[in-house]
Amino acid sequence: MPLNRQIVSVKPLTVPTTGRSIPLQVKVTAPIEGDTLPVIVFSHGNAWSMDGYEPLIERWSAAGFIVVQPTHLDSRRNRIGFDDPRFAGIWRVRIADLHAILNHLGDIFDQVGGLPARADHTRIAIVGHSWGAQTTGALLGARVLDAAGTPGEDYSHPAVKAGALIAATGTGDSLTPFAVEHLPFMRPGYATMTTPALVVAGGKDQSAMSTRGPDWFTDAYHLSPAPKRLLSISDGEHTLGGVAGEAVKETTDEDPARVALVADAVSAYLLDVLGLDSTPWQAWEKQAADSSGTFTIDTK
Give the DSSP letter string of 10-27. Answer: EEEEEE--SS-SS-EEEE
If one compares 220 and 5, the residue with the highest pLDDT of the two is 220
Give the residue, 85 or 132, on which the prediction is more confident: 132
pLDDT number for residue 195: 98
pLDDT reading at 282 higher than 60 = yes
Instruction: Choose among 35, 202, 78, 68: nearest CA to 136.
Output: 68
Give φ, ψ of 160 to 5 degrees. -80, 120
Question: For residue 1, what pLDDT is reported?
Answer: 53
How far apart are alpha carbons 32 and 15 in whole angstroms?
23
Report pLDDT digits (tens) over 151-203.
999 999 999 999 999 999 999 999 999 999 888 899 999 999 999 999 999 99
pLDDT confidence bin for 62, thresholds 50/70/90: very high
pLDDT average, residue stretch 64-81: 95
- pLDDT tens-digit readout, 1-31: 556 789 999 999 999 998 888 999 999 999 9
CB 256 within 8 A of CB 233: no
pLDDT at 249: 86
pLDDT of residue 5: 82
Q: What is the pLDDT of residues 174-184, one digit of tens each?
A: 999 999 988 88
279: how many CB neighbours lie within 10 A of its CB? 9
The CB density around residue 152, as the number of other CB atoms within 10 Å, is: 15
- List, as one string, the DSSP characters of 163-188: EEEES----GGGB-HHHHHH-TT--E
In angstroms, the CA 296 to CA 293 distance is: 6
Pairing type for strands 7-15 and 24-31 reads antiparallel
- Per-residue pLDDT at 2: 53
Kindly compute the dihedral angle of the four CA atoms of residues 71, 244, 67, 296, in this order, to the nearest 10 degrees. Answer: -140
More confident residue, 184 or 138: 138
pLDDT at position 21 is 84
Q: How far is Cα 16 from Cα 101, in angstroms, rounded to an integer?
A: 8
Query: pLDDT tens digits for 224-268?
Result: 999 999 999 999 999 999 999 988 888 999 999 999 999 999 999
> Looking at residue 227, what is its pLDDT?
98
Residue 148 confidence class, pLDDT cut points 50, 70, 90: confident
